[in-house]
Amino acid sequence: MGVEETDPLAQLSLPPGFRFYPTDEELLVQYLCRKVAGQQFSLQIIGEIDLYKFDPWVLPNKALFGEKEWYFFSPRDRKYPNGSRPNRVAGSGYWKATGTDKIITSEGRKAGIKKALVFYVGKAPKGTKTNWIMHEYRLLESSRKNGSSRLDDWVLCRIYKKNSGAQKPISSVSTKEHSSNGSSSSSSSHLDDVWTVDGDG
């Protein structure tokens, strides 16, 4: 995974079991807002890349760190500001929105949007679906316009490969209890937040 010297985790000297497992709110407020506002990070955790230049499977090697998911700042695409296009060409295929967008709030106010996309190999609309997923976090227009200085345009993306072939728990009781753990015991809000229907823009 990249060059050892640039691995921010090596600099942190984390005890066993500590890892980057951010909530949606942390990604938006602590990382994307700061990035867009031009603030410097004392330790660079999330690198910059133009995600749409690459197939997703080459991205892990381009991340600063990561085990099963990788984070990037990517330039915000300005070509389709209204977000109405159904897919986005990238590498040998395209990203296609899936599910419903999620409004991310912070201190009771809307802070941004989380969108899920799936990578398809080939040309739309006849591409072949893969297990590569992107979660794209972007700030709301309103929050972006609030800054007094010029704002850069960035989105924050999480890339991971879905583990579709994973063996499932055998007992239904196990499934229930442990799925619940996955959704409630972790600090991340990957799973257990409220999803609001907000179009597929």
Instruction: Find how far residue 140's CA is from the centre of its chain.
Output: 16
Instruction: Find how far residue 139's CA is from the centre of its chain.
Output: 13
Smallest separation (angstroms) from its own copies to the CB of 175: 8
Instruction: Find how far residue 4's CA is from the centre of its chain.
Output: 23
Smallest separation (angstroms) from its own copies to the CB of 169: 4
Q: Between residues 141 and 177, which has the closer beta carbon with respect to its own copies? A: 177
What is the identity of the amino acid at 19? R
Exposure string (b/e) for 62-72, b if CB count within 10 Å is 16 or more? Answer: bbbbbeebbbb
Residue 50 engages its own copies in binding (rule: CB under 8 A): no
d(CA 48, CA 186): 27
Give me 24's structure tokens. Answer: 């949606």
Query: Which residue in the set 58, 147, 186, 201 belongs to the binding site for its own copies (CB under 8 A)?
Result: 186
Stretch that binds its own copies, among 42-50, 86-94, 122-130, 141-149 (CB under 8 A): 42-50
Torsion angle of alpha carbons 142, 147, 151, 154, nearest 10°?
-50
Query: Which residue in the set 133, 155, 156, 157 belongs to the binding site for its own copies (CB under 8 A)?
Result: 133
Residue 130 engages its own copies in binding (rule: CB under 8 A): no
Query: Which residue in the set 64, 90, 113, 118 belongs to the binding site for its own copies (CB under 8 A)?
Result: 118
User: Which residues contact its own copies by CB under 8 A?
Assistant: 12, 14-23, 26-27, 30-31, 41-43, 45, 67-69, 98-100, 116, 118, 133, 135, 158, 160-164, 166-171, 173-188, 190-192, 194-197
